[in-house]
Structure 1
């Protein structure tokens, strides 16, 4: 779990750094007795918060009311650092109580600090809305006393709160204010700290190039460290998108941070991040060399909070370099099993961790004591000493529960679940995994939206809990209730993954039970779930309980075959190979339950909720070798759902469509990217406009500004966009092109959803013609699902790959022509349009018709 712990620490530091840089008081604010004690506490704080607290408490009786208020601000920070939340809250309460009346500058300056610290407290205790409010009030107070440092810090904190609460555009606006304020500052510590914080938050917003640009201007070890972190995310992203990864630029940034370092701790932090990256890149020889050079540096560090945390992270790196400690399956935290390395043995690592436990106790740092105990438990788990691992993990969990350390709690609950499994107690494991997921649900809001690293660690550090719980439920008690609970577990995983991609909560949600009740006699639900060594296919036929069917094929095999199938379709490969792979997927996904279809003569529609790499394949192109038919040629229309509770599946009466048609047919260059002309767009919009009442914005008329004005004044029930666009697992690379700019998901949501919600008129259909999924991106359909969900449209029609725009024009026109029939569902209209295209000898290849999928409500 090393990466998870480090990343969570980065998130917290990003939010808190501004609080921590305000520790030095002006003499005017700290007048009166006890100033020497206050100053001693400030010096002790970074190394030993508990010692600082003791000094500040000694200073309390000697100060004026204003000085006492300031001391309580420091005390709350110290208690928060140690996870002593009740005392932290009481210190804040006492601080506000000590503030003298009136609005003298001194009082207002202390109040601003208290407000900033209060925001920090609310944030760490899971109250982001209150945190944002406190930071906004802090900013106003800092502005009134003309404290530029305070304004910059509280604005950065505000941006974090806005980002988390689902206001990324507002967050970016705040960050741009910070950027402007920094430009006017002379070079110095404040500007350097501001750059570091700003670079961090731009990284968290997802603007990695902007983060890199501002951090490159830095001159300190801290800026170099943050630059390495940003470049590490760029490296991870390149791997995810099958681009050329550049690990050297991140490593060189860490090396530069090491060279700039003034203190041994700064040197160790730079080296440790470099070591972690070498391990992630599986550069074992280089990693072994770095760890050897780190050991003497670590020996120079005094025994304090930061050095202990560093020691624990170093121990985890040592574990990852030990072949014998990585043979136990299911333990997260290391990218692969390394070759044998000349690193300390497991026994020596265990001694280091045991010493870490003792040091944490001497420091009174319960959070790090929990971390050290849990990590030691993990070491015993890896060494297959399960009883001792369980004892240590239970100790770690008790402390984490007492300290309300949710990020540690879910790790130790998960660890206890694995240990229960290893000791042949599957029911105990199920119970513990459920508890871990409940804890994770509380903490993931902090973990997921704010650190891009988490997106890339998701599959290793969060997803396995959901999948293993679902698999155990199906294995141990494969009855109706357990099958349903397994489905709901994976459904929650699908939601978490989508929220992770969008970096915000999706609200409101439709209860799964309500959506299941909407499934009528004509609809069956098919929900394949990928496990490590096999597939479970959960099927819900009308008025029947869930049934589970098993297919013996591993997740890796499925993913490889899925990419082969998609590559064949996109490149219009040999028909025989397309048939072969299409039939292979038909046998896996349809054959196990196909014999049941004869029992449901009214059945007309199949809804698929696809998992993992299966989301990339076009269901319509599955080939039945026996009947010599594609699935789209069978008597069933098809649709896709991202999961069971982000769309309302209630059937409502069809209304006549009133369309807004948007398109760009001309060649364009936007954001240094060239987009080719789409010669058939004008004809496509013209023919659709002849079928339904429509308003058209074409080429220069289709801009963000014109679209916004139009939606302010007119109402439409469907929007059809015929322009370049892309779906990607990178939020910033998911867009629709206007004539002048790229509309990304959040901008599109602001333009479309907010206007339709204000008018209380649902958007029936969002059609995205000429869009495509990012090549080589195995999670690109998250972008498609993200657009579908964020737009607020009941149904989204889109394509999995870029299709010839001549065949697109034929298919789209036929789709809308079919919708003229008032009893025709959208899924049936798409099926008939695809079948019509198949009759045309120019377009009968599945390349032309299979790409189109319907996401959301199919009625």
Structure 2
């Protein structure tokens, strides 16, 4: 499908057809329902033996007189003059009734139903669509040439009505039936419209990824045969879904395909729609000025009131987000004026909700005083439309506004009403938000147990969305740190807050807090990858309790006003400690430490040790005694936040570094991928590396030495320089299932998956591609990759969450262990480090964590490499055995 977009769409012969507006539906910012009518006028039914009532004379009149009414109605509809459209279409249906032209009458009745939906008269829309269906129930009509197309059209409009009533599952069924009808009629445009409508129903159900698959699986020939405007609409919808699911590059590509088509047509509405979508892409890329220009183009074009309103609202929101101080009352007044002149419709209702969301998030120059009246108007209109999602949003926003105004009783009432509606329609993607806000309100009121229960329900709602959370709602996806992460952290904060009766935290609360952080880290990785992460096979607790080498696991949890520690010792209850340090102070010291270690020539060793000692006091000193009493040999960290960027080995107690006391490892969560020791007979590796400058990166001259020294200690296969291509690496990993994969090449870890990669000779291999290569090998090998080594990687400069990329590699690659560097060592030291690592690994029957420690201790004892800059960057993630 995507290949077709790249190579075929520009070759299609374009033709002008009649088409009506297509509006993109999305959860959280729903701006309209997609209507796809037939691109041609429905022809009159020809006389037949089963329906002899239509004469030749009436057939000719049908073609002439109602055609003008139908076309005039379409023009009224396109300019939002819905009542006028209804009036002329009703004239057409009366005429068709007198002529007993059943199919044409049924077709126009379905048009009338759409217009009634737009003005909020759902009961009349129901009557019209039911009348259309009743006319079509006559089996004798099935022999008529246009029967199946008219049936498809009526089913489509029934589905639109069900979407309006927040019945997406029923709508999906109607759209699927419509597709069957259009397929029977061999109506290419109808088939494609049905696919697009099914996509919207899937979005309304919260299944954005399935919605995207629904479009990308389309046969290229189907799209090629469709009308140009419908192809443009398909590409635009696909682009929106790629944007929502995080593939911005692909989104831009298919939106450009849509733009290329509509620029050659006399289709101003479609052109403006595509500009609006491209503006959203520019906004997602951080190109605010470009996005504002696109939105302004749509506004200046003034092709339709609804598009102008959409662009005005999203432009105002972006101006709020970018902190533009010149936002004035007149801009808000202009939008309100636009709303006043639009009939009640889904478009206007969701535009008002978007506007209120912006005013709630970015209170500016007293503009938020308009919120109550806007929301009351929205609430009334959503009830009239029968749109339960919009009603839930309006009530929920009223609750949030009341909380800001400290009207807690009103806030609780509004939020409970909003939650009840969201749960009734099974909209977990918005239910979690009201549960979260209710939890906040209850905590503010001091009812701790009820607050914890409500927060826990919010987390459960998020977990039900797990497979789609990364693409469930643009509102969630783009604001993960603001609208998902706080739910988990605020729950943990409550769980680790002592009650008034005791200062001790119960074991139940400790387990729940630890699980909540685990779920947060999993959600964070899934948000990073835009797809569900792998399930894992063994809990750390079971491994700690069963291992012969005394092992402990420490969970530092960063909260706004403190650092909480949960310690797991072998066969003992969880222990809890708390350090009164703010998140801001902790983050600042962590960043300062990294700077003083990575840039040793700018700072003295004592300066680095002073910062390291402060962090040791916060993280380790509270549990020192407990670790000593348990005779712990291996200490495993499940790190949180900015602490992921720090190698724990460098923490300093005033006399010794932490690595001088313990074997150290990191775990990405409470679970590991089937941890097993690495046996001597399995010591074989695929080693790949670059020595020459490629793609703007400096040469790594010592990589050749590094690879040669690996060969001295291990058997295996070598890919060096020109032989190290992406295809060659994939082939070797699939063909030779060695337990170790060693990549000695430039690489970068980042919080952006597009900026997380390793460098091959022919191309940078991005993280998703690398993970695919490593995961695909599982189909041809009996065991998982035991050890993945990334020996010349570094975290992205200035990215506080860069180590998320390392965690992502460790989790998604499926390797039991990953050894990687957080910053790039000088070439020679890196080669020496790896030589010692493999030498010890091949000669001693010990754990990988102990091997890493021995190498680091050897470098510490060498005056030339005693600075942490040289020995600290390597971290072991996953199985430490």
Q: TM-score range by the shorter chain?
A: 0.7 to 0.9
Match of 2:165 in 1: 82
Structure 2: how far apart are the matches of 1:80 and 1:21?
11
Relative distance call for 1:320 and 1:47 in structure 2 (3 A) is same
Within 2, Cα distance between the matches of 1:453 and 1:185? 29
Q: Give 3-state SS (helix, strand or coil) of 1:548's partner.
A: strand
- 3-state DSSP of counterpart to 2:818: strand
Q: What SS does structure 2 have at the residue aligned with 1:404? A: coil
Counterpart Cα distance in 2 of 1:226 and 1:162: 11
CA distance in 2, matches of 1:770, 1:128: 37
Q: Is the contact made by 1:502 and 1:731 (CA closer than 8 Å) also made in structure 2?
A: yes
Identify which of 764, 776, 784 aligns with 1:754: 776
Q: Residue 565 of structure 1 corresponds to which residue in structure 2? A: 593
- TM superposition shift of 1:183: 5.6
What is the CA-CA distance between 1:802 and the residue it aligns to? 1.6
After superposing the two structures, state which structure 1 stretch, 57-66 or 762-771, moved more. Answer: 57-66
Aligned residue number for residue 787 of structure 1? 809
Distance 1:149 1:13 in 2: 27
1:542-589 alpha-carbon deviations (Å, 9 max, x no partner): 111111100001111111111111111111122222011100110011
Q: Does 1:843 align with 2:834?
A: no
Q: Would you say how many aligned residue pairs link Structure 1 and Structure 2?
A: 781
3-state SS of paired residue (1:381): helix
Counterpart in 2 of 1:375?
Answer: 397
CA contact (8 A) 1:139 1:150 kept: no
Change (3 A) 1:120 1:268: closer
State the partner residue of 2:660.
633
Alpha-carbon separation, structure 1, partners of 2:249 and 2:312: 32
Indicate if the aligned counterparts of 2:685 and 2:739 stay in contact, CA closer than 8 A. yes
2:293 corresponds to: 252
Question: Which residue of 1 is the match for residue 128 of structure 2?
Answer: 55
Match of 2:646 in 1: 617
1:105 to 186, 193, 217: 186
Q: What pairs with 1:490-639 in structure 2 (closer than 5 Å)? A: 490-510=517-537, 512=539, 514=542, 521-572=549-600, 573-601=603-631, 603-625=632-654, 628-634=655-661, 636-639=662-665
Alignment of 1:657 with 2:657, yes or no, is no
Alignment RMSD (CA, Å): 3.4
User: What secondary structure, in the 3-state scheme, does the structure 2 residue paired with 1:752 have?
Assistant: helix
Shift of 1:699: 0.6
> Deviations along 1:225-259, whole A, 9 cap, x unmatched?
33332232222xxxxxxxxxx64333333333322
Instruction: Give the aligned partner of residue 772 of structure 1.
Output: 794
Report the equivalent of 2:68. none
Q: Which 10-residue stretch deviates more, 792-801 or 751-760?
A: 751-760
Task: Note the C-alpha offset of 1:312.
Answer: 2.4
**Mapped contact 1:449–1:502 kept (Cα < 8 A):** no
Cα distance in 2 for residues equivalent to 1:380 and 1:599: 53
Q: Which residue of structure 2 aligns with residue 643 of structure 1?
A: 669
Distance in 2 separating the partners of 1:301 and 1:813: 73
CA contact (8 A) 1:678 1:805 kept: yes
CA gap 1:284/1:55 in 2 versus in 1, 3 angstroms: farther
C-alpha contact 1:35 1:59 (8 A) present in aligned 2 = yes
Distance change in 2, residues 1:87/1:698 (3 Å): closer
Which piece of structure 1 moves more, 29-38 or 846-855?
29-38
CA distance in 2, matches of 1:152, 1:282: 34
Q: Give the equivalent residue in structure 2 for 1:716.
A: 738
Matched, 1:343 2:370: no
**1:529 partner SS:** strand
Distance of aligned partners of 1:127 and 1:343 in 2 relative to their CA distance in 1, 3 Å threshold: closer
TM-score in terms of structure 1 length: 0.83
CA contact (8 A) 2:739 2:787 kept: yes
Q: Is the 8 A contact 1:539 1:546 kept in 2?
A: yes
2-structure distance, mates of 1:444, 1:271? 33
**Equivalent position SS for 1:312:** helix
| Alpha carbons 1:521, 1:542 under 8 Å: kept | no
CA contact (8 A) 1:810 1:837 kept: no
Unaligned runs of 5+ in 2: 1-23, 45-102, 142-146, 500-504
Match of 1:489 in 2: 516
Q: Is the 2:553–2:567 contact (alpha carbons within 8 Å) kept by the matching residues of 1? A: yes
8 Å Cα contact 2:164-2:387 kept in structure 1: no
**8 Å Cα contact 1:515-1:645 kept in structure 2:** no
Structure-2 change in CA distance of 1:457 and 1:113 (3 Å): closer
TM-score normalised over the length of structure 2: 0.81
CA contact (8 A) 1:163 1:450 kept: no
- Could you tell me how far 1:129 is from its partner in structure 2? 8.4
In the aligned structure 1, how far is the partner of 2:131 from the partner of 2:296? 42
Q: How does 1:323-402 map to 2 (within 5 A)?
A: 341-343=365-367, 345=369, 348-402=370-424
Shift of 1:597: 2.2
- Residues 772 and 450 of structure 1, relative CA distance in 2, 3 Å threshold: farther
Deviations 1:6-56 (CA, angstroms, capped at 9, x unpaired) = xxx975599999x92633453358953223223334455556583655433
| Contact map agreement 1:680 1:809 (CA 8 A) in 2 | yes
The answer to whether residue 40 in structure 2 is matched with residue 26 in structure 1 is: yes
Q: Structure 1: which 5+ runs fail to align?
A: 1-8, 194-219, 236-245, 323-337
2:298 aligned with 1:225, yes or no?
Answer: no
Q: Does 1:813 align with 2:840?
A: no
Q: Deviation of residue 96 (structure 1)?
A: 7.0
1:834 and 1:645 map into 2 onto residues whose CA distance is 26
Shift of 1:608: 0.4
SS at match of 2:664: strand
